[in-house]
Structure 1
Amino acid sequence: MKLLTKQQITFFEEEGYLVIDNLLNESEVTYYSNLYDSFLDNRIDASKYRSDLSGSDDAAKENITQIMVPSKIVPEMLEKVLHIKSLRMAQELMGDDIALDFDMLINKAPNTNTITPWHQDAAYWINMPDKRAASCWVAIDHAYKENGCMWYTPKSHLSEILQHEQTGNKGALKCEGSEENSVCIELSPGSCVFHQGGTLHYSRGNSTNDNRRAIITNFRPKAMISLERSKGVDHTGDRKVKQ
């Protein structure tokens, strides 16, 4: 049974992103919310893969907590609904040879008001002959403008990757972008948005009293994952602009 319609697949191909409502039901959101908090408060030790995506020099406070490859620490995540359904959808969007490359957690802490700068995910990656790739950004909390929901620039994946530079102390990559020609995607808990590797996106800072937690799964062809690994790329190391 197909999870996506032809119209949804065409929209993703043409616009570079696709919103999916209710990927997770209420009880599933509760499971992931509790698991997420275990990572954030260090009941699950993810220190090896944890960093502040904002590049801040303040070691006492994380503005944008990023935890790479959480499923390496909690392998049962791979057998749960979020990974299973997002993989099936990614295969419908891009082909049966698509597989999970990596996953991550990104949280914007309350009242940190730190943007995630405009960027294209492909700027983080090595140059590959098959450029099919997509991320599935799943909201664990209500994501809206004030707490840092995602903004996407339609059709930006159809152009070349822009010039990027790094922010702060090994912080996120950034490039030129604007809200004026972009769309704001507000999501309820358990809903998600897929976007292509070349799709330009960013988010405002979190100016609210609540967290803005998201789980991201990233997909590409199995052959390209093998190529990455042969070159030592497993998405756990320092961020570098692709060569």
Structure 2
Amino acid sequence: MISEEQKLFFEQEGYLVFENLISKSDVDYYSNMYNSFLDNSIDASRYRSDLSGGDEKKEKITQIMVPSKLVPELLQKPIHQKSLEIAKILMGDDIELDFDMLINKAPNTNTITPWHQDAAYWIDMPDKRAASCWVAIDHAYRENGCMWYTPKSHLSPILPHVQIGNKGALKCEGTEENSVFIELQPGSCVFHQGGTLHYSRGNSTDNNRRALITNFRPKAMIDLERAQGVDHTGEREVKN
């Protein structure tokens, strides 16, 4: 499933593209499920926020944490199962699912997700192995907010971060000039490390840009998090 060359690329560059993680019929399942979250048919209000940090009634960047807590069947579906299998190959057999989330950029909102490193959200842990799998539910491209990554940025210390707006996303300094953009077809994905610097442009199109993200780390580190009360469902703040 993953070659040694791909594994080395992930270790050295901090990200890895994997095409066609799931089938078209699977994409249809996730698309329908996703819409049930967005239109509140599935009530995720306790885990839902707007990453733009705005005070407007219309969400620009909808984030729904731990959707599998509300729809447990997700844990047995292809995205969770296949991304875990790949994460174990990339980082080791002790890797497990830490948490999952949905992030949607609403049509014509044109609001960036600022440059950041995921590790800035987390407590500092002795074993820093961590990866996120970002799965495109819609075609992701520059105009609607595909991901940009700064290669090798995970090899340096975590940058200083600040929070935007009203409990919005964290941000740090970054630039497209030394970064790469990753356009994905529905059902394809990109893995990135916890320290990999990334961002996305705003959505200037007439359609949603939906993504489902699974996040992985060693089981011992997940246990350490939970012992300290961290379950990725609460307030966002700089931990490092």
TM bracket (short chain)? over 0.9
- 1:83 aligned residue (80, 104, 119): 80
1:121 equivalenced with 2:118 (yes/no): yes
- Percentage of pairs with the same residue: 78
Hey, what does 2:59 align to over in structure 1?
Answer: 62
TM-score normalised by the chain length of structure 2: 1.00
Hey, what does 1:131 align to over in structure 2?
Answer: 128
Equivalent residue letter for 1:162: L
Hey, what does 1:102 align to over in structure 2?
Answer: 99
> Equivalent residue of 1:30, what SS?
helix
> Equivalent residue of 1:210, what SS?
coil
- 2:69 aligned residue (64, 69, 72): 72
| Structure-1 separation of matches of 2:21 and 2:229 | 33
What is the aligned residue count?
240
Alignment of 1:140-155 (within 5 A): 140-155=137-152
TM-score normalised by the chain length of structure 1: 0.98
Deviation at 1:82, TM superposition (A): 0.5
Q: Which runs of 4+ in 1 moved over 4 A?
A: none
Q: Could you give the per-residue CA deviations for residues 10-67 of structure 1, whole angstroms, max 9, x where no partner exists?
A: 0000000000000011000000000000000011110110000110011x10000000
- 1:45 aligned residue (40, 43, 46): 43
Q: Could you give the per-residue CA deviations for residues 179-217 of structure 1, whole angstroms, max 9, x where no partner exists?
A: 000000000000000000000000000000000000000
> Equivalent residue of 1:76, what SS?
helix
Deviation at 1:88, TM superposition (A): 0.4
| Structure-1 separation of matches of 2:46 and 2:169 | 18
* Structure 2 alignment gaps of length 5 or more: none
> Equivalent residue of 2:237, what SS?
coil
Q: Could you give the per-residue CA deviations for residues 50-93 of structure 1, whole angstroms, max 9, x where no partner exists?
A: 000110011x1000000000000000000001000000000000
- 1:193 aligned residue (190, 195, 198): 190
Deviation at 1:232, TM superposition (A): 0.4
> Equivalent residue of 1:35, what SS?
helix
| Structure-2 separation of matches of 1:147 and 1:204 | 7
Hey, what does 1:36 align to over in structure 2?
Answer: 34
| Structure-2 separation of matches of 1:197 and 1:82 | 19
- 1:212 aligned residue (209, 213, 218): 209
Equivalent residue letter for 1:36: Y
Q: Could you give the per-residue CA deviations for residues 115-149 of structure 1, whole angstroms, max 9, x where no partner exists?
A: 00000000000000000000000000000000000
| Structure-1 separation of matches of 2:113 and 2:98 | 22
| Structure-2 separation of matches of 1:111 and 1:146 | 10
Deviation at 1:228, TM superposition (A): 0.2
Hey, what does 1:16 align to over in structure 2?
Answer: 14
Equivalent residue letter for 1:116: T
> Equivalent residue of 1:13, what SS?
helix
| Structure-1 separation of matches of 2:2 and 2:30 | 23
> Equivalent residue of 1:128, what SS?
coil
| Structure-2 separation of matches of 1:221 and 1:38 | 31
Hey, what does 2:223 align to over in structure 1?
Answer: 226
Hey, what does 2:180 align to over in structure 1?
Answer: 183
